[in-house]
């Protein structure tokens, strides 16, 4: 290889080095060492947090410039922003320091401001707003975590009990177990009542077996049956509720923090039991009706009266008759 | 103790050689051909190995940092890590080590054999100081070529990292993201610091190798011993200097 | 007697010829004494031939004259200036033909010769080329100009070394065994060169040689070193019948092939 060729190669090699250095310089310094384009704005904050020179300035998410430098000015920190030429910023646009990532990548975010507001010029000051910084957020997240933990803890105690006091589930469980016999009893009582009626025992039985009265009574019995069905469906409802509570669905939320619902359930069940008990013991009107023979006659006369009443009322259906009977009965 | 006096002697003769060479800076324009020749040897012919090594060093750096940074989900910062460590530290040190191994050893071998076969003596009797025609062109060439090698090595190292980030499945970072991360925390000062370090290392390596070569005494066996010594002293100097220069340039 | 005037063959600049004074020169390599209190003077424009057996310190003495070695004791003065002083080499052009040639192995024969004139700016490339080619012609090397030292024979190297010294146009010329590897014709040429340089340009010359014919033919004075000591100093004529038995032994070694020396050493 001759000297000229060698010289050429060395020369090119050196120029390549210069060019690469220049390109690197341009890229890494955003070319600002060579040309200062655009205009600058000042944004003052109490704390610039992680913001540093070279970070982006974005308006509504679009990059419109960069942080030229940061400085302390008296009792506040200032970021000098270099805004690309041609970008107009309304004087009521607000600047905030926004985090782009968890590990300290920040940018200055600007909102659009109101249309028609005067435009900021070189050197003007931006309005700023403080946003919680990452540290504050992390602290709050930490607190929230603690609270959640506490809440979960108390829920657990409520549900499972804390050793001394039974938990919600134990309570519900007991409620259902305690009352299931009572509910059973109620059902049995109702069943035996119907049986007695069928056998013609008691007033109602006699009434039923007395064919004369049969037709009128059919409606009454079906009324009573309806009442029994209602009672049944009420019990079923109660059971569904208990099941729902058991499986943690529906009104659980209310039940967790409101024991009265549970108590109400108890009361309702007790009332139901009382009623059926009273009916079984012949207490109350319906009980007496079902158990006391002495009422038969008066009932008969009543029914006679009702009959005449029905007659007098003319062509009325058994419902009206029952309605009249009911007026007499209750 | 003896080692220490040897070290001081070597240090002293290197400094002396530096001043002797500096006296002849004015003759550089006349020594253009020699200067170009040395530029060719130090810069141009060293480029391939610099390119290969820097590429793989960048790749490995990206691979390793990808592996360790995945643990805490900071993969997107591989670009910054590879970029900064290459520009500030690895690039200059790798290039300097290559120059010591490839160029420095050759310089010492050449000058030592010139010394052993009395060529240096012949120059002295001709009133042509060896510092002028043997040392000065090499020092000047390394000063000019070192930043060129360093910047090329630097960019190739970054590029190597980018290739690994794109094509290694466990990392899978697009070059765009890699280079934007690289740019985010990098100032030209970081690259400039690296170039400055490369410059200092290269200069010191060539000075050491020249000095050890010219101080060779004896026969062919001593030529080999001098080359070994020059490379060892160069490598130690690079790493020791690295600490102090890094500290000074921080 | 006025000192002879040295005339530069190219520039024709005239200056007083160079004289060399060696004054009590002693050189120790560790405990080994290579030179023992050697003193003599080489007059300006004189041809001084230094002889002596191998290892007697001749090459070491030459190195002291060009300042490559520093004396343990005593001094070497060139025109009254210390040889080891840096400016001596700057002011006085001294050429040394090394015993081994000491050619620049990375340079072609042509560039070996051209280095000195180029570095000392003797003139443009054409002037330098003329000079170099003339020196190569004198030593019958014109066909080897583009060869490299590694491609040369031992004798050719010696000739290139002499040609390189000639191109320097020295005021003081030192030859270390110039004819040791050369054929008789080339030896005669070297003798002629030495004589011509002295006659035409008053170049002071010191020749180290074992070649008795060369020495006796061209020498103005002869010195003989033995074991680092100067054992003889005088005109070559007085060497024809040396009084000193050591010198007689040196010039007329008794060779008894029936009874070789190493055989006596063996037993
Ligand atoms: N650098 C050195 N270190 C130690 N000893 C040396 C050195 N140079 C020469 N000597 C010793 O000095 C003595 C003289 O050496 P010198 O080279 O002057 O011999 P010489 O007279 O030139 O022999 P020859 O005719 O074989 O060339 C030798 O014994 C040699 O071993
Ligand atoms: Mg010798």
Compute how many other C-beta atoms are within 10 angstroms of the C-beta atom of residue A239.
13
Nearest-CA distance B184 → chain C (Å): 51
pLDDT on residue A294 = 55
> Is position B221 within any domain?
yes
Average pLDDT over residues C250-265: 70
Output the CA C55–ligand 1 centroid distance in Å: 5
- Phi, psi dihedrals of residue C118, rounded to the nearest 5°: -70, -50
Average pLDDT over residues B60-65: 91
A237-246, B143-152, C142-151, C254-263: the lowest-pLDDT one: A237-246
Judge residue B12's burial from the number of C-beta atoms within 10 Å of its C-beta, 0-12 exposed, 13-18 middle, 19 or more buried: exposed
Average pLDDT across chain C, whole number: 86
A160–chain B Cβ distance below 8 A for any pair: no
> Which position has the higher pLDDT, B35 or A313?
B35
CA C248 to chain centre: 24
Distance, CA of A93 to CA of A57 (rounded, Å): 13
Q: Whose CA is nearest to atom 11 of ligand 1?
A: C34
pLDDT on residue A198 = 63
Query: Do residues A265 and A241 make contact, with C-beta atoms less than 8 angstroms apart?
Result: yes
pLDDT on residue A164 = 64
Average pLDDT over residues A125-139: 71
> Which position has the higher pLDDT, C238 or C110?
C110
Task: Indicate the top mutation candidate among C55, C225, C229 to test ligand 1's pocket, ranked by most ligand atoms within 8 A of CB.
Answer: C55
Average pLDDT over residues B214-226: 93
- Please, which pLDDT band fits residue A330 given cuts at 50, 70 and 90? very low
Distance, CA of C49 to CA of C195 (rounded, Å): 12
- Please, which pLDDT band fits residue B207 given cuts at 50, 70 and 90? very high
Q: Residues in chain A, how many?
A: 330
Average pLDDT over residues A274-295: 57
Q: Whose CA is nearest to atom 8 of ligand 1?
A: C60
- Tens of pLDDT, residue by residue over B100-142, are 999 999 999 999 999 999 999 999 999 999 999 999 999 999 9
> Is position B197 within any domain?
yes
Q: Which atom of ligand 1 is nearest to the CA of C30?
A: 4
> Which position has the higher pLDDT, A109 or A213?
A109
Distance, CA of A88 to CA of A28 (rounded, Å): 26
> Which position has the higher pLDDT, A202 or C36?
C36
Distance, CA of A239 to CA of A247 (rounded, Å): 12
Test B144 with A24 for CB contact under 8 angstroms: no
pLDDT on residue A112 = 84
pLDDT on residue B15 = 93
Q: Whose CA is nearest to atom 14 of ligand 1?
A: C57
Judge residue A263's burial from the number of C-beta atoms within 10 Å of its C-beta, 0-12 exposed, 13-18 middle, 19 or more buried: exposed
- All partners of chain B with 3 or more CB pairs under 8 angstroms: A, C
Distance, CA of A227 to CA of A213 (rounded, Å): 21
- Phi, psi dihedrals of residue B53, rounded to the nearest 5°: -65, -40
pLDDT on residue A217 = 56
Tell me if residue A112 falls in helix, strand or coil.
Answer: coil
Location of structure tokens 């004189």 = C46
A241-255, B72-86, C67-81: the lowest-pLDDT one: A241-255
pLDDT on residue A321 = 45
* Phi-psi sector, C202: left (phi>0), alpha (psi -120 to 50), beta: left
CA triple B190-B193-B195, angle to 5 deg: 110
Tell me if residue B70 falls in helix, strand or coil.
Answer: helix
A199-213, B199-213, C116-130: the lowest-pLDDT one: A199-213
> Is position B7 within any domain?
no
B191–chain A Cβ distance below 8 A for any pair: yes
- Measured in Å, how far apart are chain B's first and last C-alpha atoms? 34
- Tens of pLDDT, residue by residue over A291-325, are 555 545 555 555 555 455 445 444 444 444 454 44
Distance, CA of C247 to CA of C239 (rounded, Å): 8
Cβ neighbours for B243, distance < 8 A, ≥ 6 positions apart: none
Judge residue A135's burial from the number of C-beta atoms within 10 Å of its C-beta, 0-12 exposed, 13-18 middle, 19 or more buried: exposed
pLDDT on residue B177 = 80
Distance, CA of B159 to CA of B146 (rounded, Å): 20
> Is position B47 within any domain?
yes
Average pLDDT over residues C156-177: 91
pLDDT above 80: residue C40 = yes
> Which position has the higher pLDDT, A319 or A16?
A16
Test A6 with B74 for CB contact under 8 angstroms: no
DSSP letter assigned to residue C27: E
- Please, which pLDDT band fits residue B244 given cuts at 50, 70 and 90? very high
Distance, CA of B95 to CA of B59 (rounded, Å): 16
* A107 bridge partner residues: A98
pLDDT above 70: residue A176 = no
pLDDT above 70: residue A288 = no
pLDDT on residue A329 = 46
> Is position B23 within any domain?
no
Average pLDDT across chain A, whole number: 68
Distance, CA of A84 to CA of B21 (rounded, Å): 52
Average pLDDT over residues A33-43: 72
Average pLDDT across chain B, whole number: 91
Share of chain B above pLDDT 90, in %: 71
> Is position B146 within any domain?
yes
pLDDT on residue A41 = 87
Distance, CA of B208 to CA of B22 (rounded, Å): 15
pLDDT on residue B164 = 92
A20–chain B Cβ distance below 8 A for any pair: yes
Query: Do residues B10 and B210 make contact, with C-beta atoms less than 8 angstroms apart?
Result: no
Nearest-CA distance C104 → chain B (Å): 6
Judge residue A143's burial from the number of C-beta atoms within 10 Å of its C-beta, 0-12 exposed, 13-18 middle, 19 or more buried: exposed
Distance, CA of C144 to CA of C160 (rounded, Å): 9
Both tokens of C48, joined, read 């001084």
Distance, CA of C42 to CA of A66 (rounded, Å): 84
Tell me if residue A214 falls in helix, strand or coil.
Answer: helix
pLDDT on residue B157 = 94
Judge residue A283's burial from the number of C-beta atoms within 10 Å of its C-beta, 0-12 exposed, 13-18 middle, 19 or more buried: middle
Among candidates C44, C43, C36, which has minimal Cα distance to C74?
C36
> Is position B3 within any domain?
no
Nearest-CA distance C98 → chain B (Å): 8
pLDDT above 70: residue A250 = no
Pairing assessment for the beta strands C221-226 and C229-234 based on DSSP bridges: antiparallel
pLDDT above 70: residue B4 = yes
For the ranges A25-34, A72-81, A208-217, B81-90, the maximum mean pLDDT occurs at B81-90
The tally of CA atoms less than 13 A away on the side-chain side of residue C114 is 16
Distance, CA of C185 to CA of C191 (rounded, Å): 10
For the ranges B94-98, C14-18, C120-124, the maximum mean pLDDT occurs at B94-98
Task: Indicate the top mutation candidate among C35, C53, C56 to test ligand 1's pocket, ranked by most ligand atoms within 8 A of CB.
Answer: C56
> Which position has the higher pLDDT, B192 or A210?
B192
pLDDT on residue C237 = 83
How many folded domains does chain B comprise? Answer: 1
How would DSSP label each residue in B195-215?
A: HHHHHHHHHHHHHHHHHHHHT
Test B37 with A13 for CB contact under 8 angstroms: no
Widest pairwise Cα distance in chain C: 67
Average pLDDT over residues B195-208: 95
Test B127 with C120 for CB contact under 8 angstroms: yes
Judge residue B133's burial from the number of C-beta atoms within 10 Å of its C-beta, 0-12 exposed, 13-18 middle, 19 or more buried: middle
Residues of C in contact with B125 (CB under 8 A): 66-68, 89, 94-96
Test B155 with A101 for CB contact under 8 angstroms: no
Output the CA C219–ligand 2 centroid distance in Å: 19
Distance, CA of B217 to CA of B226 (rounded, Å): 9
pLDDT on residue A246 = 55
Among candidates A298, A307, A297, A316, which has minimal Cα distance to A217?
A307
CA A74 to chain centre: 49
Torsion of CA A258, A264, A269, A275, to 10 degrees: 180
pLDDT on residue C83 = 84
pLDDT above 80: residue A265 = no
> Is position B21 within any domain?
no
Query: Do residues B201 and B93 make contact, with C-beta atoms less than 8 angstroms apart?
Result: yes
Distance, CA of A203 to CA of B17 (rounded, Å): 138
Q: Do at least 3 CB pairs under 8 Å connect A with B?
A: yes
pLDDT above 50: residue B47 = yes
pLDDT on residue B109 = 95
> Which residue range forms the structural domain that includes residue B154?
30-249
pLDDT on residue A318 = 44
Distance, CA of C36 to CA of A308 (rounded, Å): 175
Among candidates C11, C17, C190, C228, which has minimal Cα distance to C97?
C190
Q: Whose CA is nearest to atom 29 of ligand 1?
A: C55
pLDDT on residue A317 = 43
Among candidates B47, B93, B73, B79, which has minimal Cα distance to B181?
B79
């Amino acid at each position: 290889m001759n000297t000229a060729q060698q010289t050429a190669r060395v020369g090119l090699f050196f120029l390549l080095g210069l060019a690469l250095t220049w390109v690197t310089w341009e890229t890494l310094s955003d070319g600002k060492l060579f040309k200062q384009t655009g205009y600058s704005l000042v944004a003052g904050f109490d704390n610039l947090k992680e913001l540093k020179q070279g970070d982006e300035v974005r308006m509504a998410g679009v990059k419109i410039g960069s942080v030229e430098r940061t400085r302390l000015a008296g009792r506040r920190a200032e970021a000098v922003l270099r805004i690309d030429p041609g970008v107009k910023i309304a004087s009521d646009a607000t600047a905030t320091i926004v985090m782009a990532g968890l590990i300290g990548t920040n940018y200055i975010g600007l909102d659009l401001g109101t249309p028609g507001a005067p435009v900021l010029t070189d050197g003007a000051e931006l309005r700023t707003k403080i946003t919680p910084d990452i540290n504050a957020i992390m602290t709050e997240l930490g607190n929230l975590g603690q609270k959640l933990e506490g809440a979960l803890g108390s829920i657990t105690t409520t549900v499972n009990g804390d050793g001394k006091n039974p938990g919600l589930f134990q309570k519900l469980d007991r409620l259902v177990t305690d009352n299931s016999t009572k509910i059973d009893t109620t059902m049995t009582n109702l069943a035996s009542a119907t049986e007695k009626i069928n056998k013609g025992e008691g007033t109602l039985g006699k009434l039923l077996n007395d064919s004369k009265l049969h037709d009128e009574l059919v409606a009454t019995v079906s009324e009573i049956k309806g009442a029994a069905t209602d009672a049944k469906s009420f019990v079923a409802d109660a059971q569904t509720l208990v099941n729902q509570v058991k499986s943690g669905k529906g009104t659980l939320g209310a039940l967790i923090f409101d024991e009265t619902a549970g108590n109400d359930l108890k009361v309702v069940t007790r009332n139901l039991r009382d009623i059926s008990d009273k009916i079984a013991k012949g207490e109350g009107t319906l009980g007496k009706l079902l158990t006391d023979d002495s009422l038969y006659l008066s009932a008969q006369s009543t029914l006679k009266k009702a009959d005449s009443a029905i007659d007098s009322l003319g062509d009325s259906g058994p419902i009206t008759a029952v309605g009249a009977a009911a007026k007499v009965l209750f | 103790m003896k080692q220490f006096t040897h070290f001081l002697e070597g240090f002293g003769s290197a400094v002396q050689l530096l001043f002797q060479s500096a006296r002849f800076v004015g003759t550089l324009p006349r020594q253009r051909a020699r200067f170009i020749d040395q530029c060719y040897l130090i810069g141009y012919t060293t480029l391939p190995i610099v390119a290969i090594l820097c590429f793989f060093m960048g790749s490995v750096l990206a691979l390793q940092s990808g592996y360790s940074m995945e643990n805490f989900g900071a993969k997107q910062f591989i670009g910054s890590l590879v970029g900064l460590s290459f520009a500030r530290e690895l690039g200059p040190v790798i290039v300097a080590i290559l120059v010591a191994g490839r160029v420095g050893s050759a310089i010492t071998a050449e000058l030592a054999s010139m010394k052993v076969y009395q060529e240096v003596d012949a120059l002295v009797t001709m009133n042509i100081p060896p510092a002028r025609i043997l040392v000065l062109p090499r020092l000047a060439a390394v000063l000019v070529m070192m930043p060129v090698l360093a910047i090329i090595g630097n960019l190739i190292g970054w590029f190597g990292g980018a290739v690994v980030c794109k094509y290694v499945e466990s990392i899978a970072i697009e070059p765009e993201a890699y280079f934007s991360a690289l740019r985010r925390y990098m100032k030209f000062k970081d690259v400039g610091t690296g170039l400055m370090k490369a410059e200092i290392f290269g200069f010191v390596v060539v000075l050491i190798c020249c000095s050890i070569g010219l101080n060779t005494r004896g026969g062919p066996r001593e030529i080999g011993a001098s080359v070994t010594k020059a490379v060892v002293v160069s490598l130690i100097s690079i790493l020791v200097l690295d600490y102090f220069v890094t500290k000074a340039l921080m | 007697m006025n000192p002879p005037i040295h005339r530069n063959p190219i520039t024709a600049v005239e200056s007083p010829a160079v004289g060399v004074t060696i004054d009590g020169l002693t050189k120790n390599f560790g405990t080994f004494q290579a030179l023992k209190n050697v003193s003599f003077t080489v007059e300006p424009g004189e041809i001084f031939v230094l002889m002596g057996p191998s290892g007697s310190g001749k090459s070491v003495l030459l190195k002291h004259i060009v300042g490559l070695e520093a004396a343990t004791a005593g001094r070497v003065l060139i025109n009254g200036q210390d040889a080891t002083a840096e400016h001596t080499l700057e002011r006085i052009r001294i050429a040394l033909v090394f015993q081994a040639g000491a050619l620049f192995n990375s340079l072609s024969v042509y560039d070996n010769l051209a280095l000195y004139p180029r570095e000392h700016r003797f003139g443009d490339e054409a002037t330098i080329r003329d000079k170099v080619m003339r020196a190569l012609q004198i030593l019958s090397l014109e066909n080897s100009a583009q060869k490299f030292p590694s491609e040369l024979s031992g004798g050719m190297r010696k000739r290139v070394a002499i040609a390189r010294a000639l191109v320097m146009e020295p005021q003081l010329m030192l030859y270390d065994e110039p004819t040791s590897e050369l054929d008789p014709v080339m030896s005669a040429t070297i003798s002629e060169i030495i004589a011509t340089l002295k006659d035409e340009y008053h170049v002071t010359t010191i020749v180290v040689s074992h070649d008795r014919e060369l020495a006796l033919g061209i020498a103005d004075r002869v010195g003989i070193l033995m074991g680092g000591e100067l054992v003889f100093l005088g005109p070559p004529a007085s060497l024809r019948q040396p009084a000193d038995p050591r010198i007689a032994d040196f010039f007329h070694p008794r060779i008894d092939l029936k009874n070789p020396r190493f055989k006596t050493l063996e037993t």
